[in-house]
């Protein structure tokens, strides 16, 4: 207790000093540009010099950072594995995401979130992971001010050194979960002017507003989340098990996958004191509307999504997201997969698992989404066909280029309020949206959304005016 207070006092002093220094320096007129992410010791030093103390800095900033060679080791260090007498609570799994990893996530390549709820005996922590991206995402609370703090743990793999980079087999099987050759830990502060900025979604009202945890489908039946008690949750798990059988995922046994508890995350979010979800997805109204509308057309949602459903309740929240008033909304149907593509990728994975296909030959099992641009837009992946240039701008760019966000970084030079920006900036935007998708400077950033041909054309027309 005494030590905790002393540390806290020191930290407060440190932050006061930082503020004093900043006030004495000359006024900053220059916007901060994008910085390359630091690595290794240099990054740990930067991370640990901030006046932040929480369960992540406990692991990486007290003494030498421990080696982390696998996801299981990371879970162990962070206290996200059940121990005798320990209080870690569990996990939940989703087959559709509207986060940074949304393009990786489907029923056959889901996102797990380990949840350690805040209780008298332990501090809040949540960690998300999906195969396909070489990072895990963490939320904790800073003891200094009680505010949420977000971290990205990036890990490297031996295949990073290969000529063609990592294959789908290296990224989308159990291979990605171990054999790590190093980790770099980034605080949300390090990611501010990058496409990995956590705050655009977890602090959407801008600097100095409360941060929030996210779960858009906050209430039962928790569409898109694996859940034994709901029809949709079981339908997703059926797809999962058809491909994955009883293989372990992220250290969870095949049988325990079914123990996914979406209610654990929603209650942990509540007890951690997160502000409410903006533009929530109202699961218990949307699911019955989807089921009824599909049935009228001969469909059988949620198990069979070959006939897509529709929902008036959903349209209203989607419209708000489309206008840029909120982040992407989860899709109305439980499943986001195209039935034929899902079947092909499921067969491939089974062949791999049963030894008939080499790991290196595994296709990219993330590619299970439909080709239909309209459906893709509604899943948050592109912009809706038929939109005007102004509407494309809002749907594709306003998440990160709006007046609420940090005005001290170069990102703010572009703004969806075009009356605020000049010719030169518009030209810069035209150039950025035409970059190839694998260029790190392409807009919108690769992980968040892609423009359709039509959307790009409309936007270029608008920006050329």
> CB of residue 226 vs ligand HEC: minimum separation in angstroms?
13
Q: Kindly give the interhelix angle for 453-464 and 389-397, rounded to the nearest 10 degrees.
A: 110
Angstrom distance (rounded) from CA 412 to CA 400: 8
Give, rounded to a whole angstrom, the gap between the first and last alpha carbons of the chain. Answer: 63
280 prior amide bond cis, ω within 30: no
C-beta closer to ligand HEC: residue 266 or 301: 266
C-beta closer to ligand HEC: residue 251 or 299: 251
> CB of residue 183 vs ligand HEC: minimum separation in angstroms?
14
Contact in structure between 107 and 240 (CB atoms under 8 Å): yes
Angstrom distance (rounded) from CA 126 to CA 113: 6
CA 80 → CA 87, 101, 251, distances in Å?
9, 21, 11
> CB of residue 270 vs ligand HEC: minimum separation in angstroms?
11
Angstrom distance (rounded) from CA 83 to CA 457: 56
> CB of residue 73 vs ligand HEC: minimum separation in angstroms?
18
> CB of residue 291 vs ligand HEC: minimum separation in angstroms?
22
Q: Could you tell me the strand order of the sheet in which 90-94 lies?
A: 90-94, 111-116, 125-130, 135-141, 148-156, 182-187
> CB of residue 221 vs ligand HEC: minimum separation in angstroms?
16
C-beta closer to ligand HEC: residue 149 or 167: 149
* Cβ-based neighbour number of residue 239 at 10 Å: 22
C-beta closer to ligand HEC: residue 191 or 303: 191
DSSP assignment of 206-250, as one string?
Answer: -TTSPP----SS-STT-TTB--TTSHHHHHHHHHHHHHHTT--BT
Phi, psi of 199 (to 5 degrees): -70, -25
User: What is the 3-state composition of the chain as percent helix, strand, coil, each rounded to the nearest 5?
Assistant: 40, 10, 50
C-beta closer to ligand HEC: residue 114 or 180: 114
Residues contacting 232, CB < 8 A, separation 6+: 221, 223, 224, 287, 302, 334
Q: Which two tokens stand for residue 383?
A: 């912009």
> CB of residue 359 vs ligand HEC: minimum separation in angstroms?
27
C-beta closer to ligand HEC: residue 352 or 414: 414
C-beta closer to ligand HEC: residue 143 or 202: 202
> CB of residue 36 vs ligand HEC: minimum separation in angstroms?
11
C-beta closer to ligand HEC: residue 190 or 348: 190
Binding site for ligand HEC (CB under 6 A): 34, 94, 97-100, 111, 113, 126-128, 137-139, 150-152, 191, 193-198, 200-202, 213-216, 265, 327, 396-397, 399-401, 410-411, 413-414, 425, 428-429, 432-433, 441, 443-445, 448-449
C-beta closer to ligand HEC: residue 294 or 379: 379
Angstrom distance (rounded) from CA 343 to CA 281: 28
* Cβ-based neighbour number of residue 172 at 10 Å: 25
> CB of residue 393 vs ligand HEC: minimum separation in angstroms?
7
Exposure string (b/e) for 265-282, b if CB count within 10 Å is 16 or more? bbebbeebebeebbbebb
C-beta closer to ligand HEC: residue 293 or 401: 401
> CB of residue 107 vs ligand HEC: minimum separation in angstroms?
14
């Amino acid at each position: 207790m005494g030590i905790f207070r002393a540390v806290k006092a020191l930290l407060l002093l440190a932050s006061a000093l930082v503020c004093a220094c900043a006030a004495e320096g000359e006024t900053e007129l220059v916007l901060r540009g994008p910085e390359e992410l630091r690595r290794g010791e240099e990054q740990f030093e930067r991370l640990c010099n901030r006046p932040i103390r929480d369960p992540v800095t406990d692991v990486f900033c007290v003494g030498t950072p421990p080696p982390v060679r696998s996801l299981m080791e990371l879970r162990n260090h962070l206290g996200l594995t059940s121990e005798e007498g320990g209080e870690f609570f569990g996990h939940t799994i989703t087959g559709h995401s509207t986060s940074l990893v949304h393009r990786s996530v489907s029923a056959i390549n889901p996102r797990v979130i380990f949840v350690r709820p805040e209780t008298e005996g332990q501090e809040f922590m949540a960690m998300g992971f999906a195969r396909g991206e070489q990072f895990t995402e963490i939320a904790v609370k800073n003891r200094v001010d009680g505010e949420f703090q977000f971290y990205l743990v990036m890990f490297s793999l031996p295949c990073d050194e290969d000529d063609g980079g990592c294959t789908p087999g290296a990224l989308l099987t159990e291979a990605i979960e171990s054999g790590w050759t190093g980790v770099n830990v980034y605080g949300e502060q390090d990611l501010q002017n990058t496409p990995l900025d956590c705050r655009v979604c977890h602090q959407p009202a801008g600097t100095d507003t409360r941060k929030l945890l996210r779960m858009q489908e906050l209430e039962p039946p928790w569409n898109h989340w694996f859940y034994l008690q709901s029809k949709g949750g079981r339908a997703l798990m059926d797809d999962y098990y058809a491909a994955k059988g009883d293989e372990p995922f992220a250290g969870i046994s095949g049988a325990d996958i079914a123990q996914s508890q979406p209610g654990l995350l929603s209650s942990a979010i509540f007890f951690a004191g997160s502000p409410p979800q903006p533009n929530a997805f109202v699961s218990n109204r949307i699911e019955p509307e989807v089921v009824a509308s599909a049935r009228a057309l001969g469909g059988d949602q949620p198990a069979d999504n070959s006939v897509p459903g529709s929902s008036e309740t959903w349209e209203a929240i989607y419209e708000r997201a489309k206008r840029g008033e909120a982040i992407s909304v989860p899709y109305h149907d439980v499943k986001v997969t195209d039935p034929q593509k899902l079947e092909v990728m499921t067969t491939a994975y089974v062949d791999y698992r049963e030894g008939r296909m080499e790991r290196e030959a595994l296709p990219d099992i993330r590619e299970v989404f439909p080709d239909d641009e309209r459906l893709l837009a509604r899943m948050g992946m592109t912009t809706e066909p038929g939109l005007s240039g102004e509407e494309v701008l809002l749907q594709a760019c306003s998440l990160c280029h709006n007046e609420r966000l940090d005005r001290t970084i170069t990102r703010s030079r572009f703004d969806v309020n075009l009356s605020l920006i000049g010719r030169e900036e518009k030209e810069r935007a035209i150039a950025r949206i035409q970059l190839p998708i694998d260029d790190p400077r392409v807009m919108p950033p690769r992980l968040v959304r892609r423009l359709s041909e039509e959307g790009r054309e409309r936007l270029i027309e608008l920006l050329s005016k």
